[in-house]
Chains A and B, each alone.
Chain A
């Protein structure tokens, strides 16, 4: 899949899942990678109580910061401005793209290097800029691989996790001039680096994401392993940071626990190789750094999420990807099957809220509500509860929440709604329920061999000869009569 098209998410979801499940190589790649990542995370949190304490701390920090989000955003803007960082506000992805393009135009820039930013995937920046004659080059090795393959990231932390060494060797061999086929990982990375290094020097603008935006000091924090984030934000004369408005934290003190949780949950690292703290453009006495720093604060539906007390929990996310790594569904279908920028459990929660249930609500069905995601989440987002809530919003055609997620009721199927109404009638009228039990048990020989999708892969369950209702009634009767008998004796 070469491009994220929101319009196709609901329409092509089943087909994408089907394709992913049939692709044995893809499934093996994901299984191996997710097992590896789960193991790495577990090794980083050997003590269960410590982990729980740290998770509670992370949850509390994010909740405190979100509870004062409007004030913190204002403070962040003020501090940034004082530091010489230019702050822009974008309500929609179109606005964000336009702001970034305008900055490019102001500098007559046609080349951009990018440090990994899922928010830029969210707004479709690469394609937008390409349409306006700007070349964007991804500099994170995984993103670079994905870009070479004309694909989108399949994971928010490890964009090319769906590919194995052999597939990458083939890709480099095909797409990079003069590159022989090699499965030597060091060699592959070395080649990628050589290509990218030249681009860092040529680009007029570097664009990065933001992991944490500190209101107290106006600092942009960026977590990375490859050094490409540092180069993206220091070598080109202009740096643009694209930052979701929920990323603001109150003070520098909030960072260490969140950073610990982030790297350990994501890749099982105690700390990453690079942690960049950007607090302004190059000062007159400094030797490096960009001459201009811009931050684009992106809403794109986030304030709508913020307005709902329960759904607001979505915004605690620190984008570690642990929920994906632990999701048995993601492990089997991979990130591309979701068809959205954000895949896996957090994607099932974020995507339908950003793009609307009518556009991306169908992906919420790819969840067994097993809760492994919420258990792994470093800031305790109750992902299963939120997925269930969005299922409700997809079905519910009587608007009750203000403001409801867009597309409320758009996935309601009449036949399904009628089935549940009948089920409810049966299950709350004891007489009817017992009659149904009686019929099912007495006519058990007539149980159909094929019951919808259930029997595609399983045998049909057969009702018992007597229901528990009957057996329990018989038992209490015989207990009563034996007691009666006992008294008479």
Chain B
């Protein structure tokens, strides 16, 4: 069942995610600029850090809970929260409520979950964005994260944004829905299995002949482009927000 979407609000919170914060800030800025161009004022709380997912997925619930509580505190006003990562958005939407079950913060966690949106989802369904492509012709492979496919279920929104781009041809990779092998700490706790997965993902992506790779999740991007770089293959990779922002100015 599709989620009910509100009218476009005047103001939103932007939750940047820790990976974007440190490694891909241009993706975060592109997200902020896209929202502002749609007439939505963006509040970026300076107290934010990480959604807590790395610890949560590793089975360190107590540590994850403390960090999660700090995010709830700095996203306290009743504004929609836009997250440029399906994985962190999924953490807000589905796992905070488990993490805070039977605690005083449970109600706030439920409320936070209800007003969290993944960036492409928000642009498509709330802003009803229309994009004008000013970029050169490009052949693009898209990698949807497992969280976008199965958590927030927003994989289709990234695709529909790319479809609005008149000079972009989307190419299908084989086994498109298969995990790239990142999985947060999985990549370091089971490095050999993770490597087997990312090598196949790289092969499938290169076989498409694409000249760009886009994804809505920087975890996957870091994994795939890191592996491509190590094997000295060239396939420029970008967060979908950067890709769209650059082509639509």
Contact = CB atoms under 8 A, between A and B. Distances in A.
A binds B: yes
A427 interface: yes
Given A370-B146, A428-B67, A457 B197 contact: no
A461 interface: yes
Interface string A341-385: 000000000000000000000000111111110110000000001
Interface string B42-60: 0010111110101111111
Contact of B58 (A420, A421, A470): A420
A22 to B, nearest CB: 9
B114 interface: no
Given A372-B146, A458-B226, A468-B28, A427 B50 contact: yes
A434 B192 contact: no
Contacts of B186: 365, 367-369
Nearest to A366: B190
A325 to B, nearest CB: 13
Contact of A423 (B55, B177, B183, B199): B55
Nearest to A464: B25
A443 interface: no
Given A368-B182, A396-B61, A458-B198, A333 B193 contact: yes
Contacts of B69: 428
A374 B147 CA distance: 13
B26 interface: yes
Interface stretch (B4-12, B13-21, B75-83, B133-141): B13-21
Interface in A370-424: 370-372, 374-375, 385, 388, 390-396, 416-417, 420-421, 423-424
B59 A392 contact: yes
A21 B67 contact: no
Contact of A464 (B23, B98, B179, B181): B23
A459 interface: yes
A12 to B, nearest CB: 15
A459 B226 contact: yes
**Interface-central residue, B49, B179, B181, by most chain A CB under 10 Å:** B49
A44 interface: no
B181 A368 contact: yes
Contacts of B14: 472
Give chain A's interface secondary structure class: helix
Most buried by A among B20, B55, B198: B55
Given A333-B193, A457-B230, A428 B198 contact: no
Interface in A442-478: 452-464, 466-473, 475-476
B11 to A, nearest CB: 12
B52 to A, nearest CB: 7
B105 interface: no
Given A395-B60, A421-B63, A453-B188, A332 B229 contact: no
Given A427-B67, A428-B49, A472-B29, A440 B22 contact: yes
B195 A17 contact: no
Contacts of B246: none
A348 to B, nearest CB: 12
B150 A468 contact: no
B197 A471 contact: no
B59 A388 contact: yes
A109 interface: no
B113 interface: no
Given A427-B70, A428-B66, A475 B29 contact: yes
B8 to A, nearest CB: 19
A192 interface: no
B32 A370 contact: no
A456 B178 contact: no
B52 A458 contact: no
Interface in A64-84: none
Given A423-B55, A458-B229, A328 B29 contact: no
Interface string A2-41: 0000000000000001100100000100000000000000
Contact of B227 (A372, A393, A396, A457): A457
B226 A430 contact: no
A464 B58 contact: no
* B52, B70, B183, B192, most chain A CB atoms within 10 A: B192
Contacts of B229: 458-459
Given A424-B67, A472-B29, A369 B16 contact: no
A458 B227 contact: yes
Contact of B190 (A17, A421, A424): A17
Contacts of B179: 328, 368, 370, 372
Nearest to B194: A368
A201 interface: no
Given A370-B183, A394-B59, A475-B32, A469 B150 contact: no
Nearest to B17: A468
6 contacts: A328-B181, A332-B193, A391-B57, A428-B70, A433-B49, A452-B188
Given A368-B182, A430-B48, A471-B25, 15 more contacts: A21-B196, A329-B190, A365-B190, A372-B150, A372-B179, A427-B18, A427-B52, A427-B70, A428-B67, A430-B46, A454-B191, A458-B226, A464-B22, A464-B23, A464-B26
Please name the 10 residue pairs, one residue from A and one from B, whose CB atoms are nearest each other, closest first: A368-B183, A391-B59, A458-B226, A370-B179, A453-B191, A370-B146, A472-B44, A424-B63, A468-B25, A428-B70
